Structure 1
Amino acid sequence: MSKVKSSNLGYPRIGEKREWKKALEQFWTGKLEKAEFLDQIEEIRLKHLQKQNDQGIDLIPVGDFSLYDHVLDTAVMFGIVPKRFEYAGGKVSLETYFDIARGTTGAVASEMTKWFNTNYHYIVPELDGAVPTLVENRPLQFYKEAKQKLGINGKPVILGPVTFVKLSKGYKENDFKAVVDQFVPLYANILRELQEEGVEWVQIDEPILSTTLLKEEISLFNDVYQTLNEAAPNVKVILQTYFDSIEHYEDVISLPVQGIGLDFAHDRGQNLAALKKHGFPEDKVLAAGVIDGRNIWRANLDEKYAILAEISEIVSKNQLIVQPSSSLLHVPVTVKSEETLDGVLKGALSFADEKLHELVILTKGLQDGKEAIEKEIEVSTNAIQTLNESSIRNNTQVQEAIQNLHTYKAEREAIFNVRQGIQEEAFQLPLLPTTTIGSFPQTQEVRKQRLKWRKGEITDAAYEEYIKAEIKKWIEIQEEIGLDVFVHGEFERTDMVEFFGEKLAGFQFTKFGWVQSYGSRCVKPPLIYGDVSYKKSMTVEETVYAQSLTDKPVKGMLTGPITILNWSFVRDDISRNDVTNQIALALRKEVEALEENGIRMIQVDEPAIREGLPLKHENRESYLNAAVYAFKLATTSVQNDTQIHTHMCYSDFKNIIDAIKALDADVISIETSRSHGELIYAFEENTYDQGIGLGVYDIHSPRVPKIEELTRNIDRALQVLDPKLFWINPDCGLKTRGINETVAALKVMIEAAEQTREKLNAEQTVNI
């Protein structure tokens, strides 16, 4: 009897205790020699493979591991290095690899943006006329490593050519097919070499198939994969999609590959419906992604088995592979480390290792019959039901508020033009006011004091005094360097979502639930597991204290409802819109508390609005409408002379500009420095007539910008934006930067603002 196979699409890189992150950062700071660094990284990588093997996974991914980002890995494999890094050809050095990602004193890092609709960031490849060459066969290298050192016959994972080029920049849209065609022979070489090594299965990721594509674009896939199939006919290719249903189902399942990977967790039932309607080829395998690779809730094994049973009525069992819906990169490593979590919650959780176990159980059930896994099904059902029946998920006051949202005002009292005049009179700011986004450097000492406080080694009072001292120091620094609008620095906060989650009901936090955001930057998303409600003020004390130290306005700093939602692991028993509005109502009370205590500038950050944008165009309007409503629900109860700011990250700004206008924020700042010029083009095509700050320098790089760079960025922006509405700021918070570089960079920024003001005033005088 043929065996139903289990498969994984990718495993978290960071390690159970973030060993990967620690090794990277020690190497970057010179505390770890290159050889020792590579040895440590290899040990981590092999441990991850062995864990999957021990779980009993049949098809174990190799080559999914990365030192920074898998898209960057693909670029350097083909010798795609921006000219400014002076690459001379051949295998890309480790040093150049990290320079592309992090920048150098003389070269700006490559742009970084969100990986589809996730909170993972990838490095955008810059093609710019480059002639790609296969300088290193990474999949082959990792396949041989797993086989030789662990005896694992792995499944190489490769980012597909169409998706890779789609995610790249530096070519004209009309040249897309020609650019893809440049890469196809190189992919063919990779597959030939894998074939020679005896590789059986290869996973080629083409998640772009889950976005809205034109019918004619599918023909390109046919040409590409026909060529690859002919190049290595003995290699079985699984064309892997994820994050949504595929478009043009019949065309995709007819592509010349041996397997199709479909997401049955985030497809909204559409992949399953298409499968039932159109069937599936008898000569291909269906890799069924039934376990949610992006959330941390225990699978209802009864429901998942039922889906597989439906699929197996259409696709024979010997054609089925059971797998996650996507790479497990997006979830923490293991629940086993969470020793302090409440038992009811812990019982309903499933991280990467637990998801692998769920795959094995479902594979066994499909192979041997449902009765073989009845005990495991009962355990999962009981764990989920116990959480659903708990008091934290049944807060009647919160649920009644959601049912009566129509009673809450969600519009400002006056339109922007009226508010603008009132606020100009109230704040008396200069032309091109300067500010920062919110956080200042969190030094090792800040983190040390917070850890001591959390461990109970210092009292609450002592910790509060320490935080006040940091606030006072940075208020004085801001006075000295001459900023116009201050922030308190956020020294009491670890993460912009975690901080609020710790203070709101309905949230829980893990100890080791880290996931990679970008590079070595790991975040620990909160778990929204119950009804969200406001308990007490969260930011008033620190903000009011900071304001007492200066006559300059100090912004209150909050994280917006959509960002809290998108950067959390969200309960899956009610709609995401209901959860968002629960958060918005809680934040509304904090906004009102800040205003009541004299804080008249309040920034409610929404950097994650874009990343939650559905991959299908037809679903975007409803998402954006819900996002706008939640933001306004949180922010519109204030007076006209209270100025509402927001901050967001740039990505396809022109495609969501109507929604951004609809937020009706008085001032929006946008993270743009790595793609500043591209965003300016968006304003040439679209009018934005409210306050706006385009980040004038990149905070992700340690380099201090030159004044010429900043004045150029400002001048370029002012060609399309009204100087009376333009603010000058860094492109993001400064939490991860050092003190000296932060102060130096801000001084340059302020000097650039002053030079531009003088120039504008001189031009105005001449015109008069």
Structure 2
Amino acid sequence: MTGPREQFRPDDHPNEHFLLTTVVGSYPKPKWHDRARELFEDPDGDLDRGAWEKAKDDASRAIVDEHERAGIDAVTDGEMRRTEMVEYFADRIDGYERNGRVKVWGHNYFDKPSVYREVEYSDSWLVDEYEFTSDVATHPVKVPITGPYTLASWSFNEAYEDDAALAIALADLVNDEIQQLVDAGARYIQIDEAALATTPEDHAIVGECLERIVDGLPEDVYVGLHVCYGDYSRIYPEILEFPVDEFDLELNNGDYDQLEVFREPTFTKNLGFGAVDVHAAEAESVAEIKANIRRALEVVPPERLTISPDCGIKLLPREVAYAKLENMVQAAREIEAELDDGTVEATAPAPGAAD
């Protein structure tokens, strides 16, 4: 394996082959973390800001430890300091404001923010989070960041001609933030564009945003793009032109039917492969996960395969989330050993074979 992905391979890795294991981002918050938030936000509560900050530190430390005990190669802190993927960043971008909740579906609500003037970058959004996480972690740390297209699409636009113009402006701010993260030592950045597969006709806008986001980044920075579940056939193969190293796709949702989309033309990027179901509140067996991974090896060779859950896992019971990660890592290590001894063979076509 060559390129920036090599830096995430542990020095004492037991197998010649290497399947990078990671998480998409979110993880279940400890119950005491949520209780501390309630006490801090309650006007009659008795938890001050210092105690609330310490609670978030403790939760981040605990989740990093869980990821590392499960054997994850590139960890996060489970987004213990974040609320929702748009609200958290809207609170930190000049030009946004909150207006109250809107109904999304059923009894679910979302505090959809508004852009009321031109957006500007001031203080860093994630550097403190990254520095704390990297200080307590012994494994490499991945930094997920909501992408500009989703930040624009899931907000009320009151200041720009259209959402495309807003997304482009936000892309420049995301570039500013990533430059700060890189200066702090981050080398694995994941752009979350949850909205892309729901409005696939805008893939060209996302491509332009990504060009701006990666502008000036060092060659050793590994950039992934997470795209939530949708009709991937409507954005493939166009997304192969995006300037990212890895596509992290929600393929278990749908029982891998959409793997067929990526067979022709040949998938030429690294694949972040959802090997466990984030909607099922029980842990898959190691054997089940190995069977899933073998399917991925029909699309990409092992040196371009990253194993992760399908999406964020914050809605699962914490003990189930941990069991899924532990079994996922065990499955990846067993597949690596079977690749080493020839029991399992990758059958993915060489890049360009089907173009």
Same fold (TM over 0.5): yes
Closer/same/farther in 2, CA of residues 465 and 645 from structure 1, 3 Å limit:
same
**In the alignment, residue 552 of structure 1 is paired with which amino acid?**
H
Percentage identity across aligned positions? 26
Which structure has greater helix proportion? 1
Counterpart check, 1:691 vs 2:273: no
CA contact (8 A) 1:654 1:686 kept: no
Partner SS for 1:637:
coil
1:77-96 to 2 correspondences below 5 Å: none
Q: Check whether the contact 1:441–1:739 (CA below 8 A) recurs between aligned residues.
A: yes
| Aligned match of 1:534 | 121
Deviation at 1:424, TM superposition (A): 4.2
Once residues 102 and 333 of structure 2 are traced to their aligned partners in structure 1, the CA distance between those partners, rounded to angstroms, is: 42
Partner of 2:164: 577
Answer yes or no: is the 8 Å Cα contact 2:8–2:73 preserved in 1: no
1:644 is displaced (CA, Å) by 0.9
C-alpha contact (below 8 Å) 1:539/1:557 kept by paired residues: no
The superposition leaves residues 491-528 of structure 1 with CA deviations (integer Å, 9 ceiling, x where unpaired) of: 111101100000001111133x13225x6543222222
Distance in 2 between residues matched to 1:764 and 1:667, nearest whole Å = 27
* Alignment map for 1:369-518 (pairs within 5 Å): 421-429=2-10, 431-455=18-42, 457=45, 458-511=47-100, 513-517=101-105
Aligned to 2:297: 718
Give the 3-state SS of the residue equivalent to 1:531 in structure 2: strand
Q: What letter corresponds to residue 103 of structure 2 in structure 1?
A: V
* Rounded Cα–Cα distance in structure 1 between residues aligned with 2:172 and 2:220: 22
How far did residue 581 of structure 1 move? 1.3
Structure 2 residue aligned with 1:290: none
| Residue 641 of structure 1 pairs with residue 220 of structure 2 | yes
Q: Encode CA deviations 1:112-164: one digit per residue, 9 max, x unaligned.
A: xxxxxxxxxxxxxxxxxxxxxxxxxxxxxxxxxxxxxxxxxxxxxxxxxxxxx
The answer to whether the aligner puts 1:762 opposite 2:341 as a matched pair is yes
Distance of 2:93 and 2:104 partners within structure 1: 24
Quote how far apart the aligned CAs of 1:709 are. Answer: 2.3
CA distance in 1, matches of 2:40, 2:265: 49
Q: Contact 2:270/2:300 (CA < 8 Å) preserved in 1?
A: no
1:573 Cα deviation from its structure 2 partner: 5.5
For residues 763 and 722 of structure 1, what CA distance do their matches in structure 2 show? Answer: 14
The structure having more radius of gyration, on CA atoms, is 1
In structure 2, what is the Cα distance between the partners aligned to 1:561 and 1:570? 13
Query: TM-score by structure 1 length?
Result: 0.42
Q: Which amino acid aligns with 1:571?
A: E
Which letter maps to 1:436? V
* 1:531 to partner: Cα distance: 1.4
SS at match of 2:174: helix
Distance across 2 between alignment mates of 1:597 and 1:540: 7
RMSD: 2.2
Contact 2:148 2:209 in 1 (8 A): yes
Residues 1:663 and 2:259 aligned together: no
Whole-Å Cα distance in 2 between the matches of residues 695 and 741 of structure 1? 16
Q: State the alpha-carbon separation in 1 of the partners of residues 309 and 129 from structure 2.
A: 22
- Which one-letter code corresponds to 1:525 in the other structure? K
1:362-421, Cα deviation, whole Å (9 max, x unpaired): xxxxxxxxxxxxxxxxxxxxxxxxxxxxxxxxxxxxxxxxxxxxxxxxxxxxxxxxxx83
- Alpha-carbon distance, 1:660 to partner: 1.9
Q: How far 1:460 sits from its partner (Å)?
A: 2.7
Q: Secondary structure at the match of 1:528?
A: strand
Contact 1:540 1:594 in 2 (8 A): yes
Verify the 8 A CA contact 1:436 1:730 in the aligned structure 2.
Answer: yes
Q: Secondary structure at the match of 1:729?
A: strand
Which residue, 142, 150, 154 being the options, matches 1:563?
150
Please report how far the alpha carbon of residue 701 of structure 1 lies from its aligned counterpart in structure 2 after TM superposition: 2.4
- Indicate if the aligned counterparts of 1:563 and 1:608 stay in contact, CA closer than 8 A: yes
How far residue 653 of structure 1 moved from its aligned partner, in angstroms, is: 1.5
Choose between structure 1 and 2 for higher RCO, CA contacts under 8 A separated by at least 6 residues.
Answer: 2
Work out which of the residue numbers 704, 707, 729 in structure 1 matches 2:283: 704
Report if aligned partners of 1:566, 1:612 keep a CA contact under 8 Å in 2: no
Q: Equivalent residue of 2:82, what SS?
A: coil
Which of 219, 223, 229 pairs up with 1:650? Answer: 229
Deviation of residue 529 (structure 1)?
A: 2.4
Match of 2:175 in 1: 588
What does the per-residue CA deviation read over 1:214-233, in whole Å, with 9 as the maximum and x for residues that have no partner? xxxxxxxxxxxxxxxxxxxx
Q: Decide whether aligned partners of structure 1 residues 744 and 474 sit closer, same or farther in structure 2, where only a CA change above 3 A counts.
A: same
Whether contact under 8 Å (2:251, 2:259) holds in the other structure is: no
Please show how residues 45-84 of structure 1 align to structure 2 within 5 Å.
none
Task: Give the alignment partner of residue 132 of structure 2, picking from 524, 527, 545.
Answer: 545
Deviation at 1:446, TM superposition (A): 2.3
Contact 1:558 1:603 in 2 (8 A): yes
Give 3-state SS (helix, strand or coil) of 2:128's partner.
Answer: helix
Go from structure 1 to structure 2 and tell me whether the alpha carbon gap of 1:453 and 1:535 turns closer, same or farther (over 3 Å shift).
farther
